[in-house]
Structure 1
Amino acid sequence: MQDTPLHMPDARPLAITHVVRQFHPGIGGMEECVLQLARYQVAGGHRVRVVTLDTIFDDPAARKLPHAEMLDGIEIRRVPWRGSKRYPLAPGVLGVLGTPDLVHVHGVDFLSDYLALTQPVHRRILILSTHGGFFHTPFAGRMKLLYFNSITRALLTRYAGVAASSQSDFERFAQIRHRNLDLIENGVTVDKFRGLARRDARTILYFGRLAPNKGLAALVAWFAALVAADPDWRLIVAGRPMGVTLESLRAQAAALGIAERVETVDTPSDAQIATLIGRSSVYASASTYEGFGLAAIEGASAHLYPLLNDIPPFRRTVDGLGFGRIVDFADPATAPAFARDWPSLTMPDAATIDATVTGRFGWRGHVDAFEALYRRALASRGR
Structure 2
Amino acid sequence: MDLTKCHLVHVVRQYAPGVGGLEDFVRNLTEAQKGRFKSVSVVTLDRVFSDWENQLPASEVIDGTSVYRLPFHGSRRYPIAPRILKAIGSADLVHVHAIDFFYDFLSLSRLWHRKPLVATTHGGFFHTDKYRLLKKVWFKSLTRLSAAGYRRIACCSQSDLALFQEIAPLKATLIENGVDLQKFAEASSQDPRKHIVTIGRFSNNKRLGRLLDAVKVLVERDPDWKLDVIGVASDWSVQTVLDEVSSRGLTDHVSVLAGLENAEIKTRLSRSSLFASASDYEGFGLVLIEALSAGLLPVVHPNEAYKSLAAEHQMVRLADYASAQDAADAFEETLAKLQQEPSLRENAMASAQIHGWDRCRDLYDQMYRDALSVT
Classify the TM-score, shorter chain: over 0.9
Q: Match for residue 92 of structure 1? A: 83
Equivalent residues of 2:41, 2:65 under 8 A apart = yes
Q: 1:143 aligns with which of 122, 134, 137?
A: 134
Distance 1:253 1:72, change over 3 A: closer
Deviations 1:112-146 (CA, angstroms, capped at 9, x unpaired):
11100110000000001001111112232211111
Equivalent residues of 1:132, 1:165 under 8 A apart = yes
Q: Match for residue 205 of structure 1? A: 197
TM-score scaled to structure 1, two decimals?
0.93
1:1-383 matches, within 5 Å, as 10=2, 12-59=4-51, 62-198=53-189, 199-338=191-330, 340-341=332-333, 342-345=335-338, 346=341, 348=343, 352-358=347-353, 360-381=354-375
SS in 2 for 1:42: coil
Equivalent residues of 1:323, 1:347 under 8 A apart = no
| Whole-Å separation in 2 of the counterparts to 1:37 and 1:158 | 23
Equivalent residues of 2:292, 2:298 under 8 A apart = yes
SS in 2 for 1:366: helix
| Whole-Å separation in 2 of the counterparts to 1:378 and 1:257 | 58
| Whole-Å separation in 2 of the counterparts to 1:366 and 1:249 | 35
Distance 1:147 1:275, change over 3 A: same
CA displacement at 1:177 relative to structure 2:
1.0
What stretches of structure 2 of length at least 5 have no aligned partner? none
Distance 1:159 1:45, change over 3 A: closer
| Whole-Å separation in 1 of the counterparts to 2:6 and 2:347 | 36
CA displacement at 1:350 relative to structure 2:
5.8
Distance 1:348 1:174, change over 3 A: farther
Paired AA for residue 204 in structure 1: I
| Whole-Å separation in 1 of the counterparts to 2:328 and 2:219 | 8
Paired AA for residue 343 in structure 1: A
CA displacement at 1:294 relative to structure 2:
1.0
Distance 1:337 1:137, change over 3 A: closer
| Whole-Å separation in 2 of the counterparts to 1:339 and 1:149 | 40
CA displacement at 1:306 relative to structure 2:
0.8
| Whole-Å separation in 2 of the counterparts to 1:101 and 1:268 | 37
Equivalent residues of 2:293, 2:350 under 8 A apart = no
Paired AA for residue 308 in structure 1: V
| Whole-Å separation in 2 of the counterparts to 1:233 and 1:59 | 33
Distance 1:46 1:193, change over 3 A: farther
Equivalent residues of 2:214, 2:328 under 8 A apart = no
Distance 1:34 1:336, change over 3 A: closer
Deviations 1:223-260 (CA, angstroms, capped at 9, x unpaired):
10111222211011011011012322322332222221
SS in 2 for 1:158: coil
Distance 1:338 1:151, change over 3 A: closer
Deviations 1:97-117 (CA, angstroms, capped at 9, x unpaired):
132221000011111111001
Number of residue pairs matched by the alignment: 371
Distance 1:46 1:192, change over 3 A: farther
CA displacement at 1:210 relative to structure 2:
0.8
SS in 2 for 1:259: coil
Distance 1:158 1:347, change over 3 A: farther
| Whole-Å separation in 1 of the counterparts to 2:43 and 2:332 | 50
Distance 1:370 1:347, change over 3 A: farther
Equivalent residues of 1:234, 1:262 under 8 A apart = yes
CA displacement at 1:344 relative to structure 2:
2.6
Distance 1:238 1:351, change over 3 A: closer
SS in 2 for 1:69: strand
CA displacement at 1:352 relative to structure 2:
4.4
Deviations 1:299-352 (CA, angstroms, capped at 9, x unpaired):
111001111112221122223222121111111221452354222334646654
Q: Match for residue 6 of structure 1? A: none
Deviations 1:141-193 (CA, angstroms, capped at 9, x unpaired):
21111111011111110101101111111111111111121111111100111
Equivalent residues of 1:220, 1:249 under 8 A apart = no
Equivalent residues of 1:193, 1:298 under 8 A apart = yes
| Whole-Å separation in 1 of the counterparts to 2:254 and 2:99 | 36
Q: Which moved more, 1:196-205 or 1:347-356?
A: 347-356
Equivalent residues of 1:203, 1:282 under 8 A apart = yes
| Whole-Å separation in 2 of the counterparts to 1:340 and 1:108 | 39
CA displacement at 1:43 relative to structure 2:
3.8
RMSD in angstroms over aligned alpha carbons? 1.7
| Whole-Å separation in 2 of the counterparts to 1:267 and 1:302 | 20
Percent of counterpart pairs with the same letter?
36
Deviations 1:253-312 (CA, angstroms, capped at 9, x unpaired):
322222211110112211221111011111100000111111111111100111111222
SS in 2 for 1:18: strand
SS in 2 for 1:283: strand
CA displacement at 1:46 relative to structure 2:
4.2
